């Protein structure tokens, strides 16, 4: 069975890439909720509803494990998703937070900064998860909403991007953290701008990478890894992986090509029917 992944849109492709690179023997089904993106500015109730609908859509297609690639959905809706579907669920918050604690654990005064969407910052999910793993770690969080459209436009080295990054990250530079969590699916695309702005001494943590490591561990512990070797060379977006979007498939394909260097071989536009709609 494949592993299911969902995100509010295209950003989760960075998490798909991390999973695909680490687990070349697995197949993936990806759902990008492009009709309802962004989640980062929406309320708890709305994000929970969308997240449950996405999880149920993937569960109905037969998956052995669900990865919630969207940081906002992970921060706000993980307990509700877990309660609703009877399969193991991996989010991005816990793995990213634990990685930050691991990297800073030998510091006399560990300091971790988190950048994320407005909803993720307001939920305090990263800060809570970091403090749960290490009480002595100081945490500062900042929302960087404009990073999402900049990443989608592929403005990865433009002067405007640098000046926006300087403004957003000023308080983080003053805080001088040892580690900075990229707590939004899109931020790894802007990695170089972010690294240059905060300085080389700050370790950037891609929560997608951390999530892929945790997924690998969970597959082993639960004995869920594919026992048969997939023969031949695996490529990102090859025809073993299936992509679904809720709108604008053409745009998704273009952005996927920019992010991953390839368009999905199998891409379908679908409508996600709400649970309420189905019941009525």
d(CA 178, CA 140): 12
- The number of residues that bind ligand DGL (CB under 6 A) is 16
Q: How many CB atoms lie within 10 A of CB 247?
A: 16
Task: In angstroms, give the least distance from the CB of 257 to ligand DGL.
Answer: 19
- Identify the residue among 38, 110, 177, 264 touching ligand DGL (CB under 6 A): 38
- Identify the residue among 14, 34, 54, 71 touching ligand DGL (CB under 6 A): 71
The residue number with the shortest CB distance to ligand DGL is: 40
Q: Is 65 in the site for ligand DGL (CB under 6 A)?
A: no
| Per-residue CA distances from 53 to 42, 63, 128, 163 (Å) | 16, 15, 26, 38
- Identify the residue among 14, 120, 137, 161 touching ligand DGL (CB under 6 A): 120
Of 21-29, 32-40, 95-103, 210-218, which part binds ligand DGL (CB under 6 A)?
32-40
Q: Which is nearer to ligand DGL, 134 or 215 (CB)?
A: 215
In 3-state terms, what secondary structure has residue 223? coil
Q: Is 184 a catalytic residue?
A: yes
Q: At what angle do helices 71-84 and 125-133 cross, to 10 degrees?
A: 80
Of 5-13, 134-142, 242-250, 256-264, which part binds ligand DGL (CB under 6 A)?
5-13
* Torsion angle of the four alpha carbons 248, 254, 256, 260, in this order, in degrees rounded to the nearest 10: 180
Task: In angstroms, give the least distance from the CB of 168 to ligand DGL.
Answer: 15
Q: Is 72 in the site for ligand DGL (CB under 6 A)?
A: yes
Q: Is 93 in the site for ligand DGL (CB under 6 A)?
A: no
- Identify the residue among 31, 37, 67, 101 touching ligand DGL (CB under 6 A): 37
In 3-state terms, what secondary structure has residue 91? coil
The answer, yes or no, to whether the previous bond of 38 is cis (omega within 30 of 0) is yes
Q: 50 and 21 in contact (C-beta within 8 Å)?
A: no
Q: Is 70 a catalytic residue?
A: yes
Smallest CA-to-CA distance from 106 within 129, 137, 139 is with 137
Q: Is 8 in the site for ligand DGL (CB under 6 A)?
A: yes
Q: 69 and 7 in contact (C-beta within 8 Å)?
A: yes
Q: Which is nearer to ligand DGL, 24 or 145 (CB)?
A: 145
**What is the layout of strands, in order, in the sheet containing 111-116?**
138-143, 111-116, 179-183, 203-206
Q: Which is nearer to ligand DGL, 72 or 215 (CB)?
A: 72
Q: 130 and 75 in contact (C-beta within 8 Å)?
A: no
Of 38-46, 122-130, 218-226, 267-275, which part binds ligand DGL (CB under 6 A)?
38-46
Task: In angstroms, give the least distance from the CB of 225 to ligand DGL.
Answer: 26
State both tokens at 179: 């580690």
Interaction site with ligand DGL (CB under 6 A): 7-8, 11, 37-40, 70-72, 117, 120, 148, 184-186
Q: Which residue numbers are catalytic?
A: 70, 184
């Amino acid at each position: 069975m494949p592993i299911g992944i969902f995100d509010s849109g295209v950003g989760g492709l960075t998490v798909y890439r991390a999973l695909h690179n680490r687990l070349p023997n697995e197949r993936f089904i990806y759902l990008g909720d492009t009709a309802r993106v962004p989640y980062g500015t929406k309320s708890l109730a709305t994000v929970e509803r969308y997240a449950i609908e996405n999880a149920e859509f993937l569960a109905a297609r037969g998956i052995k494990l669900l990865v919630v690639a969207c940081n906002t959905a992970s921060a706000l809706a993980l307990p509700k998703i877990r309660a609703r579907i009877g399969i193991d669920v991996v989010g991005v918050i816990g793995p990213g937070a634990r990685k930050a604690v691991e990297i800073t654990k030998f510091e006399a005064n560990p300091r971790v900064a988190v950048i994320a969407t407005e909803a993720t910052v307001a939920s305090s999910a990263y800060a809570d998860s970091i403090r749960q793993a290490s009480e002595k770690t100081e945490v500062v969080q900042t929302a960087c909403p404009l990073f999402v459209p900049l990443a989608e436009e592929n403005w990865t080295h433009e002067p405007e991007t640098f000046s926006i990054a300087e403004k957003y990250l000023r308080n983080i530079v003053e805080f001088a953290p040892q580690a900075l969590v990229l707590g939004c699916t899109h931020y790894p695309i802007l990695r170089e701008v972010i690294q240059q702005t905060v300085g080389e001494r700050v370790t950037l943590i891609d929560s997608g990478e951390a999530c892929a490591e945790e997924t690998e561990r969970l597959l082993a512990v639960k004995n869920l890894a594919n026992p048969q070797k997939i023969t031949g060379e695996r490529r990102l977006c090859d025809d073993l992986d299936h992509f679904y979007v809720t709108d604008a498939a053409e745009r998704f394909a273009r952005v996927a090509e920019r992010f991953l260097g390839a368009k999905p071989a199998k891409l379908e536009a679908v409508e996600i029917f709400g649970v309420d709609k189905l019941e009525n």
